[in-house]
Chain A
Amino acid sequence: MLHEFSYLAPRERNDLLQLLKKHAGQARLLAGGTDLLCEIRLGTDKPAFLLDVKHIPELQDIAWSERDGLSIGAAVTCLEIMRHPVIRKKFPLLAHAAGQIGSAQLRNRATIGGNLCTASPCADLGCSSLALGARVELASVRGTRVIPMKEFFTGVKQTQLQDDEIVQRVLYPPDAAGAAWGMEKLKRIKGHDLAVVSVAIARTAKWLRVGIGSCAPTPVVTADLAPPATVATVVAAARRVIAPIDDVRASREFRLFMVEEFIGRLMARLA
């Protein structure tokens, strides 16, 4: 059973932001519900209000332009990302990463905004979006602000989001379109599972970046490296940003080993 809460489904962005301000600290945003409803069921979260964001048109848009790059509304589902022709063509890493999340049933509901706001260290759209240099647009009644995704994540399930703020869009720079890419996700089973280690690489003529999941309190990304980088350089850059721990899924040593292994494999594939 879920505890009692009020379910509200505003139709306009401003209504959503007003409601969020009014109930700041007592409300949670409901998108796909694939994380939030589990937390509520477990009793680890007991919001008094659930604000359904799925009826806000601005949060459903996917837009691309040569000048501004790619913009994905926070309530866009993994399925929509996987299938969107422009994303598949210009940001195939993102389409692939969206397909790595959960099972078909979960991907049909789960959203990019939800995956990022849950801010799990293993977020598949975290490490991949970081490699692509994504930024996050936050909105509240006070206005909007855009921050680099790597500043968005601040700890395990912690983000920069204030109580009255939403993630409105995720933005990918035009220079990441068409980047060469590769992603490896280690799971305990072949079926749907969280990443034990995930590594996503994006490379253009100007930069190479590696996003890494499940190896630090947040998804992390290396500094921009100059291509073509050697495997040793990339591994060294990765080692500087990760701090894996022992947990139920793997040991620190195994994670360190797999990060190197995946970087080696992906670099060989990209060469």
Chain B
Amino acid sequence: MSTKHSVTVTVNGKRYTREVAGNRTLLRFLREDLGLTGTKEGCGAGECGACTVILNGKAVNSCLVLAPEVDGATIETVEGEARNGKLSKLQEAFHRNHGVQCGFCTPGMLMSVKALLREHPKPTVDQIKEAIEGNFCRCTGYQQIIESVLDATGQLKPKKEELRRV
């Protein structure tokens, strides 16, 4: 039996301390030890990005990080977006532009985009594509996701009326 590690983290501004085994991934730590099930497991191998969270300011695949590695860290997850039942500006833009289809990739997409927007408040389409390169949307709704980000940053060009009403 491997020894337990005491892990203290700040997730979405709230401090948590838990005892975990060395082989606990950050993803399972968030979902099962902290009950924050917004972050999803897709491939579990760093390919799909469904489990993306922001760790000390950087987007990472939480399936490829061990919980004991993040002792003392600051983590942001999708649960930190909406406040008092009100969607964040970014979530509203995803909602408005149909950036969500089945929704499984959305928590990870939001975190990758959030990390991008901190560095590039008005990202180009290429910068958006690069930032979400590691986030797979199997509904293939990439175009709407890119438009959502452009909208959230005030860069979406208005479309023809009939298209907007669909």
| A interface residues (Cβ-Cβ under 8 A, vs B) | 1-7, 9, 30, 32-34, 37-38, 41-42, 50, 52, 54, 79, 102-106, 108-109, 191-192
Residues of B within 8 A of A52 (CB): 69
Contact A105 B59, beta carbon cutoff 8 Å: yes
CA distance A183 to B131 in the complex (A): 21
Residues of B within 8 A of A34 (CB): 46, 61, 64
**Apart from A1-B23, A5-B2, A33-B65, 7 more pairs, CB < 8 Å:** A3-B23, A4-B2, A5-B23, A6-B3, A37-B25, A52-B69, A105-B46
Nearest residue, chain A, Cβ from B45: A38
Residues of B within 8 A of A192 (CB): 133-134
Residues of B within 8 A of A2 (CB): 23, 25
Q: Is B91 an interface residue (CB 8 A)?
A: no
| B interface residues (Cβ-Cβ under 8 A, vs A) | 1-3, 5, 21-23, 25, 44-46, 49, 52, 58-61, 63-66, 68-69, 112, 115, 130-131, 133-135
CA distance A50 to B25 in the complex (A): 13
CA distance A122 to B19 in the complex (A): 39
Contact A109 B45, beta carbon cutoff 8 Å: no
- The winner among A5, A7, A30, A106 for most chain B CB atoms within 10 A is A7
Q: Give the total number of A-B pairs whose CB atoms are below 8 A apart.
A: 87
CA distance A10 to B5 in the complex (A): 14
CA distance A37 to B46 in the complex (A): 9
Contact B52 A105, beta carbon cutoff 8 Å: yes
Nearest residue, chain A, Cβ from B55: A108
Contact B22 A105, beta carbon cutoff 8 Å: no
Contact A104 B134, beta carbon cutoff 8 Å: yes
Residues of A within 8 A of B21 (CB): 4
Q: 16 A-B pairs, CB-CB below 8 angstroms?
A: A4-B23, A7-B66, A30-B66, A33-B69, A34-B46, A34-B61, A37-B63, A37-B66, A41-B45, A54-B69, A103-B133, A104-B59, A104-B115, A104-B133, A109-B60, A192-B134
Residues of A within 8 A of B133 (CB): 103-104, 191-192
Nearest residue, chain B, Cβ from A108: B58
Given contacts A33-B66, A37-B64, A105-B112, contact A7 B134 (CB under 8 A): no
Nearest residue, chain A, Cβ from B22: A7
Residues of A within 8 A of B60 (CB): 105, 108-109
CA distance A104 to B53 in the complex (A): 12
CA distance A177 to B60 in the complex (A): 31
Residues of B within 8 A of A30 (CB): 66, 69
